[in-house]
Structure 1
Amino acid sequence: MATIDGYYFWVCTKGAERRGKRIGALVAGTGLDPRDFTRPGWRGSAEAMARLVRNVWASLDDEYMGYTARRVRPGSFAFACELALEGASVADGLARAARFYNLLGAGIGTGVRSVPAGLEIEVRFERPALDPDHYFAEFWMIIWHRLACWLAGETISLLSAEFDYPRPDAYFEEFKYLFPCRHRFDGERRRIVMDAHALHAPVRRTAAELEAMLAAAPLDIMTIPASDASVARQVRQFLTRGPDLTLDELAHATGLSPHKLRRLLREEGTTLATIRENVRRDKAMRLLTRGNATVEAIAETLGYAEARSFTRAFRQWTGKSPSAWRAGG
């Protein structure tokens, strides 16, 4: 189960809170405790985040979550996806969806265009002051990349991302996983550039698959930037079962050479070390939260040669030792 840093839970509701909604009502039925959102090192599940986003949509009757001057009624994303499904290519599908959103005139202009490097998505907020933490700007940009990957049924590499504000040091470690590419801050605009494959990749999804995706929205579009058959996903599944599997063992399990495995992961915007670290981090937090296993036992389960190596890694993830994190101190 993928997890998300508590910062994103904390900031997710700010647009609705500024519109007068109470945090208690927004988290109702999600299984979340808002006191956790600011607890150092706390992470919540992607499923819980999806439920929280749906609650915000419903409470405001606005898929833009209160971050723009005018609301966008729930159902707009579904209609945009239906238009995208009719595209002659992934790029054409995204352009159709963007034209629909632009016609709504709800406060965000989205441009889809071909550039020398590939496919560029640029977003322009009419009133950026309504999103002072840049939460929705980043969420919106990520959605376009994830939608491109979903339409193609495979990974479309993210090449670069530009932002017209300073580097978000407070949550940059998590930010890097959301935008696994080159970054430019304090730039002139907000845009992402995808690999040129997006310009001609066919739309491979069916109406039935769209219906299933929308039924779980925004979960799938938040958590699946690649297809189920992506190499990164296969590697994560193997590492979830055996966190200490070596490169050679993973190459054998996936039917690839070690060199090709490394290359394909790089093309998907990740590395074996990154996936292994994410798997260990997520599993460590689940074991510390849900059981009474000792730190030594957890370290062994995660494939660490000794407990102090695990403790050192955990401090890098959360700023706390495993014991202190478990105690909530």
Structure 2
Amino acid sequence: MKKLTKGQKTVLVLATLPMITVGGFGGWGTYTNIVSEFGRAATAAGAVAAGEGVTLIAALVMLVLTMLGQSSPPVVRVFLWLGPLAASAMGVAVADTLTERILYALTPLGMCGAAEGVGLLARRVVVYSTDVDVEAQRRNAAVLQRIAFHRARAERHPWKWVRKVSALVAWRLMGQLGRSDATLGSALTDVQNIRIVEGANTALAAMFSSAPELPAATPRSATPAAPATPRPPRNTGPAKPATPPDADATTAQEAAPEQTVLCYEPGTPQYVVRELWLRQNHRPTESAIVDALTAAGLANSRAQAGKIRRQVEAENPALPGPRAA
């Protein structure tokens, strides 16, 4: 549970005192207005009690319930505004001129604004301390209950027009779900911030990171071919004497080194470039290599593409050359 610091408590007190002062001046203004019209202090006190007094009681009830972590009933909110409106109506009724009517009607609103302000501050203090917004939970629960009712009626009501109306009402209520919920807004903002940071990290890594070291290729010896099965000679004519092989050719074949076939790990840049090379049957361009590396989710700069192509070409001399113009 979070606790308010000394600075926060000081600011809270300094913000609450003007609200209480304004509310007191609102009640005192209504009192003096009624006294000036009727000349009886008891009547003026009763009018203040019926208007600003009800507002003060509703504000205190809402404040206590908020501090206890409970939601305020709708009747408290109604009286919080009904009391000043009643005082304004009394001021308009006893006023003699238009100017007095306007003045007497606006004077009680000071108490209403002060009560609303103090109640809102108390609610925010509870939300800050417990991370639980009871009023938002109450509104969301009421909206979810109405959505469930209208969705059920939209699916199972026997009348078609009732089903259509309930479906429209359910969609409208879905737009109100979570409105003015600070906790939900903070959670959604955290999720969005995480996604933005991940995207920025990926973009910066692709732009500013140096080219990764190329993995070493694993040589693999060529598989010896199976000996050919000799076929019986056909008796179509006299056999010709076999020409002995050229001594120089035999010597060259024996002196030729055994070529190896490299085996790249699947998913490496070398593997992707060689597969592209074999698929195109000619030496791929750097742009084609960049596109293939991008599709495989690898580093895709042109310098990286040229470096990998030169490595694959050096390690696989049997690959076809560039495409003829």
Which TM-score band applies after superposition, normalised by the shorter structure?
under 0.3
TM-score by length of 1: 0.21
More helix by share: 2
Q: Which of the pair has more CA radius of gyration?
A: 2
